[in-house]
Amino acid sequence: MVNGFDFALEAELKGALRKDFLWGYATAAPQIEGAWNIDGKGPSTWDVLAHTPGRVLDNSTGDDACRSYDFFKEDVKLMKSYGVNAYRFSLSWSRIIPLGSASDPVNEAGLAFYSDLIDELLAAGITPFLTLFHWDVPAALEERYKSMLNQDKFVKDFVRYARVCFERFGDRVKHWITYNEPGVYALAGYAGGAHAPNRSSDREKYDEGDTSTEPWIVGHTQLVSHGHVVKVYRDEFQPKQGGTIGITLSGNWSEPWDVEDESDRAAAQRALEFEIAWFADPVHGIGEVDYPACMREQLGDRLPTFTDNEKKLVRGSSDFYGMNTYTAFFVRTAVPPGSPIPPEDHKGNLLWFDENKQGVSRGAESDTEWLRTSPWGFAKLLRWIWSRYHKPIFVTENGTTTKGEHVSAPPREDVLNDTHRIEFYRSYVGELAKAVKEEGIDIRSYFGWTLMDNWEWAKGYTDRFGVTWIDFESPEKTRYPKRSAAFNRQYFKHLIAEA
């Protein structure tokens, strides 16, 4: 028993993780910073969305969010008390270059904020992981040329933004991520349309967009611009700064609804390829640089083609496999073979289920409709990624919501004792440790989502993912540690080998 937590069931996993294993929490600038128009920051596409009536579930904005812009020193102290040794956060492009483009001026106040945050983290013994892009494009670039739909212009602007960050922070930052979940960004913003910049073929909800083509154009732009940024870093900065750089990809495990059915098995493989291999194959794969064959078969010439130069830029452009994952699903084929697949289908012609043919559930429910605790799927996904790509894995996001946390402040003790979240972390991190110990999979980090309850994009404040409960009604956005934070501190102390 350690501080009230019993690790007897994990006794054989003691010291399973490498001595330099990095663990902590991940956040995103638009979700926690607030100060959306303060100190020279320009509007992002998410600021535009939040101030458009009807776009956010609870009609809230991220104008204040958690006020981390004002209270970042307190947040670093909080993380130190949680025992973390790393923190993954994103930079707001429009806080650094308010108008976004390669010819626009930088905002020294924004650069100073991130520089101070980095210094504060390092002084506390916490390693910074910086994500350049976590979904918030400067609104000016969307207005000028539709941002990622114009690859040539966007690449130039993104490369200049990245260069500024490498120049200003690279002396202290040794871990860089170019894009967070490029697939989610492309699909939620350009297919479903619920995320910025609100583009979709659904004319009842959105004025512009083409679900059948735009997600694939945007995905391609992200891959190519990622490749350009990595080349700049490796050529000009990595030799003297000595850091690493990569891309972090989203993806949940897909399991056949009926494991005995060949069609269901094919559907599960197709699901993994549409969701994960879409980006991972071009970056991490072997052989010809291209998108998965199942995507080519379904999408045809709607899927962009890599030029010879793009192939060289993209292949091998990540020093590690950045992995965001949350749950697992049972899947089947939607439209039978020989029948036309609707051009708006962007997920691989699939149906999703919470139970398989035998009635087995994918896991315990959370407070988020799509998210169930599925450590069995996480274990399978780790092995699938390692087998297919054989790159060091950095788990960069993983976490859950918990029912019953929407209460008035101060939260009751039973609310802060978030047993569902504790069991989620216990089971998932336990599977990670087993994968390392039993199969030698090279896993080097784990970042829980997230440090604190925050503004959860188009869901507003209706989803609470944090290990810290936030009183959004208080001017200071008062922080209340949940028991899961204390659990993770002791759990990782148990799992990480002593130096």
User: How many residues are recorded in the chain?
Assistant: 499
* Within-domain flag for 466: yes
pLDDT tens per residue, range 301-329: 999 999 999 999 999 999 999 999 999 99
Residue 364, pLDDT > 60, answer: yes
* Within-domain flag for 449: yes
Q: Which of 418, 441, 444 is nearest to 497 (CA)?
A: 444
The question of whether 423 is a catalytic residue gets the answer no
- What is the predicted pLDDT for the residue at 4? 78
Residue 2, pLDDT > 80, answer: no
CA distance 485 to 272: 31
Residue 99, pLDDT > 80, answer: yes
- The two tokens of residue 174 are 């040794």
Domain that holds residue 68: 8-495
Average pLDDT value for the chain: 98
* Within-domain flag for 31: yes
* Within-domain flag for 169: yes
pLDDT tens per residue, range 13-57: 999 999 999 999 999 999 999 999 999 999 999 999 999 999 999
Share of the chain above pLDDT 90, in %: 98
User: Which of 33, 181, 214, 456 is the catalytic position?
Assistant: 181
The question of whether 74 is a catalytic residue gets the answer no
Q: What is the mean pLDDT of residues 270-279?
A: 98
Would you call 407 exposed, middle or buried from its count of C-beta atoms within 10 A (0-12, 13-18, 19+)? exposed
pLDDT tens per residue, range 328-342: 999 999 999 889 999
pLDDT tens per residue, range 428-480: 999 999 999 999 999 999 999 999 999 999 999 999 999 999 999 999 999 99
Contact 113, 95 (CB under 8 A): yes
Structure confidence at residue 129 as a pLDDT band (50, 70, 90): very high
Residue 296, pLDDT > 70, answer: yes
* Within-domain flag for 3: no
- Specify the CATH number for the domain of residue 293: 3.20.20.80
Q: What is the mean pLDDT of residues 263-287?
A: 98
CB-hemisphere CA count at 13 Å for 469? 24
Q: Is 84 left (phi over 0), alpha (psi -120 to 50) or beta?
A: beta
* Within-domain flag for 446: yes
SS3 257: coil
User: Which of 33, 310, 397, 405 is the catalytic position?
Assistant: 397
β-partners of residue 89 are 130
pLDDT tens per residue, range 150-171: 999 999 999 999 999 999 999 9
Residue 88, pLDDT > 60, answer: yes
- What is the predicted pLDDT for the residue at 329? 98
Count of domains forming the chain: 1
- The two tokens of residue 365 are 């429910």
* Within-domain flag for 1: no
CA distance 119 to 109: 15
SS3 124: coil
